Amino acid sequence: MNHVRRRLVEFLFQSFKLLSALSAQENVEVVMNMAGIPSKQATARAQDLLASMGLSGRAKHKPAELSGGEKQRVALARALANEPALILAEEPTANLDSQRGREVMTLLRTIAKEQGRTVVIVGHDARIREVADHVLWMIDRVIAEVLPVEKERVIRRLQQQGEIVGMVGDGVNDAPALAAADIGIAIGSGSDVAKETGRIILIKDDIRDVVTSIRLSRATMRKIKQTLFWALAYNSAAIPIAAVGLLNPIIAAAAMALSSLSVIVNSALLKGARLSDAGVVRTVEEPERKEGKVTLTKDPVCGMEVDQKKAAGQYRHDGKTCSFCSTKCHLRFKENPKAYVNGGSRGS
């Protein structure tokens, strides 16, 4: 299933998802290496794809040396590497300025029209209407392209209408809205201002964790109510009996201890709450990982998680077997193992 997904579907994310230790060209090559494409063929195709994105002169640069628009074009080249039939783009212009965002939208439309690929864009950018053949509105209200102050006003207006408002943001311009909302949720990879303003920070940078945080909050409130109920029940039953002298002090002390113990045990059960079942999309690998069918380890060169059974290569160093996502990472490690282990700097 994972092999079929790689060959038929690719993704484009607002956060680019590039590997910081690899160059632009290597970021494109790595997905082809993982698909079993020979190294020379992968290199040639990566160069052609970057050239088509206008990045021939930037192929050897790492993500930190590229602008936001260049990073997204590298990510788009990577998405095209295995010639997928479908590209799913999630907020592809969210981290780009107006001009760069328009360039990416134009590229996506060109790919759809000239290469015959299906491109699905999910987002709130009004420019989607300019390039899309079909637009599907999934919600009943859209507020887009507003200034930071206007975002805050919108939230205040909704609150005046009796709504409880949650705001998810990652930029400096989201800070006023995060502060005004009943609950502000900041993305972990966002600006420091957003993280300082938000009451919840999504450490994993996964937007699906918004659902998890809501479920955790509800589960916590249930535990609080249960704790209050049992505390009141114990005291309501025991105090009148003790007042008329029918409760032995030793039994009363034991009852108080049991009351405290029940509160602690009930609160500890929160660890077993189901926070990621129906309604939260899981990756194909997650069920297999839970059943112990997949043994994952980190590629010491690029940091990607690798299934040991499907690794592109392995190398034994200092009594430890290292697994690699691609032949290129394998070769780079063999050239200088010390650069990637024993506290060495990854990617140096």
| pLDDT at site 283 | 36
Could you give the percent of the chain with pLDDT greater than 90?
11
Q: How far apart are CA 70 and CA 100, in angstroms?
A: 9
Least confident of 81-85, 171-175, 222-226, 234-238: 234-238
Mode of pairing for the β-strands spanning 200-202 and 183-187: parallel
Domain 148-202 fold is: Rossmann fold (3.40.50)
Whether residue 135 has pLDDT greater than 80:
no
The phi, psi pair for 250, rounded to 5°, reads -65, -40
Q: Which pLDDT belongs to residue 302?
A: 73
Single-letter residue type at 279:
G
- Confidence band (pLDDT; 50, 70, 90) for 62? very high
| pLDDT at residue 142, rounded to an integer | 61
pLDDT on residue 61: 93
Superfamily of domain 2-131: P-loop containing nucleotide triphosphate hydrolases (3.40.50.300)
Residue 288 confidence (pLDDT): 42
Please classify residue 333 by burial: count the beta carbons closer than 10 Å to its beta carbon, then call 0-12 exposed, 13-18 middle and 19+ buried: buried
At 44 the pLDDT is 92
Mean pLDDT calculated for residue range 146-163: 85
Helix/strand/coil (H/E/C) assignment for every residue in 239-307 = HHHHHCCCCCHHHHHHHHHHHHHHHHHHHHHHHHCCCCCCCCCCCCHHHHHHCCCCCEEECCCCCCEEE
Average pLDDT taken over every residue of the chain: 80
| pLDDT given for residue 289 in this prediction | 45
pLDDT at 95 over 80: no
Write out the two tokens for 306: 């690798």
**pLDDT tier for residue 203 given thresholds of 50, 70 and 90:** confident
pLDDT at 25 over 90: yes
Is the per-residue pLDDT at 260 higher than 50?
Answer: yes
Instruction: State pTM to two decimals.
Output: 0.43
